[in-house]
Structure 1
């Protein structure tokens, strides 16, 4: 669903919670939403790689990368897999790379910033666990709505 604005959604759903994070839009799709899959990883995108290889069915991957700006958790190859497997987008508390290529992809991507350095592949991290990001608890199965105004989270679909 791309016909929404997070301010309007938050006005209509006072129980929606906004992430207090300064994320930037990097994907061609600047407004995206979907059911949440969570990943917690630090400077290792092994779990993200596994996740984007699965059918996305319009879901959104929310990644707690610990706010690291030293390694990128998403690049053009993984982003293209996400597009191919129909993920709606990714919200990353960390960095990405290949930003010019990702800007051309029909994918929503919000992240803290960019870093040209790739991650090490150690297979570290956790998936489908509650995350604490920007003052909000995000559970697998919650719903995320992201646009240029920010990211909000809801326990139920808002559109």
Structure 2
């Protein structure tokens, strides 16, 4: 498929955010945007992609399988499972399918299983909890609709970034200016850390 200018712009933005810490991005979103209670289970590394959203019935993963059939490379499957933790919505097989199709990661506001396998690999998987009990099947759900995970709104196509500190999502419309501000903050913090290391730091840091 021919890459459009918009596709190229998004690809450049995703590459740029891959070097940014979630905490710094969050600071430049007025410290008001972030998914609470969602944590990483994979073996380290930053996740950056665009949201393919799933609204799932609590404990039911039917529509996550539909998302796997509809994802594009660099998509992050973001699942609003209503925070329900009594059934695992994905496991290692679904994570492997997503990775094989070029997904950037999976985020579940709910539970997962097969944590030993998931934690041994670098494919990004974020979730609220862990349980061995498998999911329900055949429930209602929706794809590519506005959702909420951990109290954070996520719209289809939003840029999603995750690291050891958690998850943040934002509109591509603000991504360029946000990336510039985040890079400026990270450069400032790097200078401060260097001054601490060489003994020249003289003043409180405020952002």
TM-score > 0.5, shorter chain as reference? yes
Q: Which has the higher strand share?
A: 1
Q: CA deviation at 1:88?
A: 0.7
Instruction: Flag as ranges the 4+ runs of structure 1 deviating above 4 A.
Output: 12-16
Distance 1:132 1:153 in 2: 11
TM-score, scaled to structure 2: 0.69
User: Is residue 52–residue 78 contact of structure 2 (8 Å, CA) maintained in 1?
Assistant: yes
User: Is residue 60–residue 89 contact of structure 2 (8 Å, CA) maintained in 1?
Assistant: yes
Q: CA deviation at 1:95?
A: 0.1
Which of residues 35, 46, 50 in structure 1 aligns to 2:50?
A: 35
Q: CA deviation at 1:55?
A: 4.4
Distance 1:80 1:6 in 2: 25
Distance 1:109 1:80 in 2: 11
Q: Within 5 Å, which residues of 2 pair with 1:83-122?
A: 83-122=99-138
Structure 2 unpaired stretches of 5+: 1-14, 180-207
Distance 2:143 2:70 in 1: 13
How many pairs are equivalent? 158
Q: Which has the higher helix share?
A: 2
Distance 1:14 1:57 in 2: 30
Structure 1 residues 86 and 16: alpha-carbon distance in aligned structure 2, compared to 1, 3 A threshold: farther
The structure with the largest alpha-carbon Rg is 2
Partner residue in 1 for 2:21: 5
Partner residue in 1 for 2:199: none
Q: Secondary structure at the match of 1:132?
A: strand
User: Is residue 54–residue 85 contact of structure 1 (8 Å, CA) maintained in 2?
Assistant: no
Structure 1 unpaired stretches of 5+: none
Larger RCO (CA within 8 A; separation ≥ 6): 1
Q: Secondary structure at the match of 1:94?
A: strand
TM-score, scaled to structure 1: 0.88
1:65-84 per-residue CA deviation (whole Å, 9 max, x = no partner) reads 11111100111111110110
